[in-house]
């Protein structure tokens, strides 16, 4: 018996597809067989399983559990919840790995799998190995009955979120976007001081109020209105599976991922002088400069939650973050991306700073940024375009950081072009010291894309 996955499903740091088109129950079963085979060969036998609120998630969970048990791994189901709740379960339960079924912030027709293997990120070559084992039918069979059991983890998870909490009382608006973080958020705010106003905590796979992606400003409109109408201190939003955070300050301005990391880094570096703080290649230069100014060691790394988590383990960094709102705490936590925990730590950092979030944002260098621009490109072409651009830049003697795609520094600032690992798009961003400088940087992006046959079209925002 063997199985072939749709070539678009096996991504760099997760498995993702469109239900009924590129992903279905038979894929979930094959993932279970391959993952269990790898785990048993590494000495493991038990897997935690969680899922988000999408209509297809129970179907995928059933297929995955069958695959895991047929290859000899017992399954511990923790039920519907945010991805970080599954990560927490994998960290504290007697299991050897974990799988969350989630489409994250993708449209309702999507779903996918995020995996943890013996307390480490499972990505890249690991995911390709899932496909190789399935194609070869190289699956272990169960040599003893494997079990499926259920564990209630939600209350324990929420209690852990506030363990050691040292924050004050704020008036906060929260928007769960009808995603999987809603039930945990409802419990969390009961344990926090202050005044809390909640939006869209009921889990609804249709996402009827807005798309659950807090990095797009249009999705923060209801939260902005709530903060303004009630005069709140700030607002917090989550993506569909609760591993990415968005924020607005009391003046209704978006506080982007790199700006949040700036606030959080100050508190962490006060406790751990000289520590490494990691951010992805899309982050502002102002963040890296501020980390250094605070006595920390800034480290630029590749975009992708699994890639960041692995780099944190390698370097011992206590804190990391991405422009996309993934925030990772290894300081007093487990090193995974948890937006609910990041929100709790933000409350603590603001208490420590003694200044409103809006004031901290205004004090940051006022760089001029583009939104994150996305250019549609054929899946088979996206990495080749980046290679072409890098070759031309090298021939022209440009100052290029190749950490993840091309990040080009000029007298005007910097621009970035990289291939998305989750979509058939090229991602670009630029940051300038002036409006004219930003225009010149964007013109360089357009020029490079044009030379590779890609014309600027409609793009998604930040």
* Residues belonging to the active site: 104
Question: Got the DSSP string for 291-332?
Answer: HHHTT-EEEEE-SSHHHHHHHHHHHT-SEEE-TTS-EEE-TT
Question: In which residue are the tokens 């504290």 written?
Answer: 92
Spell out the long-range contacts of 328-336 with Cβ–Cβ below 8 A and sequence spacing 24 or more: 328/278, 331/268, 331/271, 331/272, 332/164, 334/87, 334/88, 334/91, 335/309, 336/84, 336/87, 336/88, 336/91, 336/243, 336/309
Contacts of 406 (CB under 8 A, 6+ apart): 386, 389, 390, 393, 400, 416, 417, 418
CA distances from 367 to 168, 214, 321, 438 (A): 31, 21, 19, 10
CA distances from 84 to 44, 175, 224, 246, 316 (A): 21, 17, 25, 16, 20
């Amino acid at each position: 018996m063997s199985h072939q996955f749709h070539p678009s499903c096996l991504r760099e740091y997760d498995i993702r597809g469109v239900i009924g088109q590129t992903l279905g129950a038979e894929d979930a079963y094959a993932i279970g067989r391959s993952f269990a085979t790898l785990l048993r060969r590494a000495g493991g036998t038990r897997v935690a399983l969680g899922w988000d609120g999408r209509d297809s998630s129970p179907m995928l969970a059933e297929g995955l559990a069958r695959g895991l048990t047929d290859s000899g791994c017992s399954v511990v189901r923790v039920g519907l919840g945010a991805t970080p709740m599954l990560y927490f379960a994998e960290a504290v339960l007697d299991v050897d790995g974990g799988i969350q079924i989630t489409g994250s912030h993708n449209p309702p027709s999507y779903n996918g799998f995020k995996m943890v293997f013996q307390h480490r990120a499972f990505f890249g070559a690991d995911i390709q190995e899932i496909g190789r084992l399935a194609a070869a039918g190289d699956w272990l069979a169960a040599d003893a009955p494997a079990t499926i059991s259920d564990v209630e983890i939600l209350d324990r998870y929420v209690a852990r979120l506030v363990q050691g909490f040292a924050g004050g009382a704020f008036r906060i608006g929260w928007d769960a976007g009808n995603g999987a973080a809603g039930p945990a958020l409802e419990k969390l705010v009961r344990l926090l001081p202050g005044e809390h106003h909640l939006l869209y905590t009921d889990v609804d796979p249709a996402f009827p109020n807005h798309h659950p992606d807090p990095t797009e400003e249009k999705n923060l409109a209801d939260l902005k209105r709530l903060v303004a109408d009630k005069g709140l201190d700030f607002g917090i939003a989550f993506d569909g599976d609760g591993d990415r955070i968005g924020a607005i300050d009391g003046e209704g301005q978006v506080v982007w991922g790199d700006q949040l990391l700036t606030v959080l880094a100050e508190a962490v570096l006060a406790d751990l002088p000289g520590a490494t703080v990691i951010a992805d290649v899309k982050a502002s230069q102002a963040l890296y400069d501020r980390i250094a100014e605070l006595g920390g060691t800034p480290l630029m790394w590749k975009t992708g939650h699994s890639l960041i988590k692995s780099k944190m383990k390698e370097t011992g960094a206590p804190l990391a973050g991405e422009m996309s709102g993934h925030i990772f705490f290894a300081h007093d936590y487990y090193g995974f991306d948890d937006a609910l925990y990041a929100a709790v730590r933000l409350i603590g950092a603001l208490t420590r700073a003694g200044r409103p979030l809006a004031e901290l944002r205004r004090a940051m260098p006022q760089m001029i940024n583009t939104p994150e621009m996305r250019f549609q490109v054929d899946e088979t072409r996206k990495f080749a375009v980046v290679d072409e651009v890098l070759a031309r830049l090298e021939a022209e003697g440009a100052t290029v950081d190749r950490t993840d795609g091309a990040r080009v520094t000029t007298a005007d600032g910097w621009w970035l072009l990289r291939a998305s690992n989750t979509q058939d798009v090229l991602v670009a961003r630029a940051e300038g010291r002036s409006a004219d400088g930003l225009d010149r940087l964007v013109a360089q992006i357009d020029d490079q894309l044009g030379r590779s046959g890609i014309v600027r079209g409609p793009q998604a925002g930040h």
